[in-house]
């Protein structure tokens, strides 16, 4: 590698720093909007699935959300569920540097919860790859799934990740004066004079 690719032996490549800098600076507002749309659509799928199962009383194998009705294999694809959990984890981690103060604490809470959610999906994906289930279960089973049925568990996980994200977004969009002064993005709706 050339010395121009790195600023020092222990730093990230400039291209990565540059992209992360833009995503957490001038592009943070747009990146957050796109990411939150993906998150809300996914959560909505879980809510529709729960509505189908509990309000419409559809059998669980038919309660597949909106996309699952057109593409039934989506609901049963562990690789898809693991992929989404990984995208969520990477997305929350990637956008974390753009948050400061209170908003950062809440965004970090979402990251910690999503990390565990990702571990649960990794366990499920590992069982599919290995062709062996854990805990003597007839189907791939996560740890929390031993106590909470899968439909409810994944709605719960997505909700408990979403709630701190929303709180973080509130504090990020309406920052205190000290937090606003430290922000590198234009996400604040009412920036304080210190940021202008």
| Tens digit of each residue's pLDDT (9 = 90 or more) over 139-153 | 999 999 999 998 899
Write out the two tokens for 150. Answer: 């899968």
User: Is 5 a domain residue?
Assistant: no
Q: Is 59 exposed, middle or buried (0-12, 13-18, 19+ CB in 10 A)?
A: exposed
User: Is 7 a domain residue?
Assistant: no
What is the structure's pLDDT at 40?
Answer: 95
Is pLDDT of 7 > 60?
Answer: no
User: Is 1 a domain residue?
Assistant: no
| Count of domains forming the chain | 1
Is pLDDT of 101 > 60?
Answer: yes
| Tens digit of each residue's pLDDT (9 = 90 or more) over 132-185 | 999 889 999 999 999 999 889 989 999 999 999 999 999 999 999 999 999 999
User: Is 154 a domain residue?
Assistant: yes
Write out the two tokens for 66. Answer: 């909106």
Is pLDDT of 195 > 50?
Answer: no
pTM to 2 decimal places: 0.83
Q: How confident is the model at residue 79 (pLDDT cuts 50, 70, 90)?
A: confident
Residue 62 belongs to domain spanning: 16-190
Cβ neighbours of residue 75 closer than 8 Å, sequence gap 6 or more: 49, 64, 65, 68
User: Is 8 a domain residue?
Assistant: no
User: Is 196 a domain residue?
Assistant: no
């Amino acid at each position: 590698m050339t010395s121009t690719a790195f600023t020092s032996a222990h730093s990230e490549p400039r291209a990565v720093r540059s992209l992360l800098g833009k995503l957490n600076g001038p592009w943070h507002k747009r990146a957050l909007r796109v990411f939150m749309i993906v998150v809300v659509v996914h959560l909505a799928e879980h809510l529709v699935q729960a509505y189908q199962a509990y309000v419409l009383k559809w059998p669980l194998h038919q309660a597949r959300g909106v996309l699952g009705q057109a593409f039934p294999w989506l609901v049963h694809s562990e690789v898809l569920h693991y992929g989404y959990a990984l995208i969520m984890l990477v997305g929350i981690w990637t956008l974390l540097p753009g948050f400061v103060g209170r908003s950062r604490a809440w965004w970090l809470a979402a990251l910690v919860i999503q990390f565990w959610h990702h571990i649960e999906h990794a366990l499920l994906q590992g069982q599919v790859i290995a062709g062996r289930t854990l805990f003597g279960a007839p189907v791939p089973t996560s740890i929390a799934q031993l106590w909470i049925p899968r439909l409810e568990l994944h709605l719960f996980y997505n909700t408990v990740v979403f709630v701190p994200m929303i709180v973080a977004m509130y504090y990020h969009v309406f920052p205190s004066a000290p937090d606003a002064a430290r922000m590198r993005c234009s996400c604040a709706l009412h920036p304080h004079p210190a940021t202008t």
